[in-house]
Structure 1
């Protein structure tokens, strides 16, 4: 593995002709030849910029011949000859390596930015900046620019930036994130100019699909308790329907599975049995069993019996009960009684 990493960090071999793969592409070929776990282990040892460059290069090595592999990677010739059918440039393979190296959420975010043709040098550079730097760059720009920036950051980072913006700007930005559908070449070029001190020269880019209520909700889920509801209340004055859509996306019933036993137990003690029975009828089995596991055996058996006795229920009735449970969870979280996952740096 040390030998593989050394090849990644070394300049492109002198034997490669000018028409051959670049240094980054040669390193990408090596990664694609390695097993997923080995490639992931190498990626973990690289800094973010190197991961970005290699990830992008993986998409550029779709037509690599065995001869090119041998010339570029002669230290690894034996392995290359034995594995020439691995499917270079395969998006599922790249996703698999990225997920093992970075985790699913970070891999999704990374792939969203390196998969052709959605990349942007400005956004690429900016996602490695700290929150205060990004906030300082966008605080005096048009809110649409701020929304574009937040929509392309990982949700926790976007939440950090959002909380540094002026309170009267926060709801406007979240509104624009939620209504953002695609990013035009002109918008990306404008962003390039705004961040001229931080990024490379502007270039033509195709539209990128980002934004929406779900994207806005991810950002809101990572703000501190209280900030999210303040923004929702402000947003509701402008667009009540959109505010409700974002709130529905922010926390769903199945997210209760992420609560630890202590927090889940506290929540369950605040829910009426009749509501819980209906809510659990439509829950995934792992969520239902975890919730019942936080109750006494007698109470859990009672809930199971009542669920069986009630028989089939209308979906609308189940969803209404689940919304009531979610509302109770949010209320307890805002009061500091329980801690929901992803609520900034708040602890109980």
Structure 2
């Protein structure tokens, strides 16, 4: 059934008997990396972001049915679409090492991980990108709120959202409002914070004299939070500062906003969305958004998806929201890579 989610342009690649469009972008990247030498794979992986390493590493571990047709199809697609190629994502050292051990065997995996992690040379604040959110929270939990604010503004929004979920509700509110009010950090202050972090663990000095934080940063972090946490936090912000809450809400991109993504963007996104995730997400979607999704699939795939949704029966709201969050995460990754264009609730570009 997953093969039926192919969007327009899903023809088989000439010269192979395998339809490469039945694979997600993450699966294609995993196959490509597994088909390279350790050195070449390491050279590519060290350029990925931590979350990208986590996702592609997990995909590599699940590749149990590789054959020459599938590998050839991925190579051909890569060569033909190299200008559009999207990087994917990965996580902590232990996770990456375990994932690659499962895919490549212990000796090869250890060598590959050493090249990736030692070669990256991350220090200070950048080291936090590779840590589990709970670990980061434990490191900064006793720091001054201003330091916590800078750290959360510096990291990727998805990572920061997971870190914030480890804080109590009162502290989450305080930090989110600080993030929204933050505009820039002086180079000297950022350098000093970087040195403090570097003394606690290894890590590349992020000497960016940064313009970090602000309303958009707060909105991006909120986008990645669980709905239950996000709703309570937004209500609390609204009680403190109604104008700030409205501005953050306008900058947030929610599932219903996918209706504003153009057809090509929807088709690109669907290639990376697992079928079971799409089923759950659309179970609780508005009719007009469902119809837009169906229009951007083959007729047979749309009919099968509709049948599957109708056959699902009742489903927990939390499962629907989780699936919608997963799709939004995919959409944001594609937007960051320039593959699709997203617009926020207020009509501003959100890329």
Structure of higher CA gyration radius: 1
Give TM-score, length-normalised by structure 2. Answer: 0.45
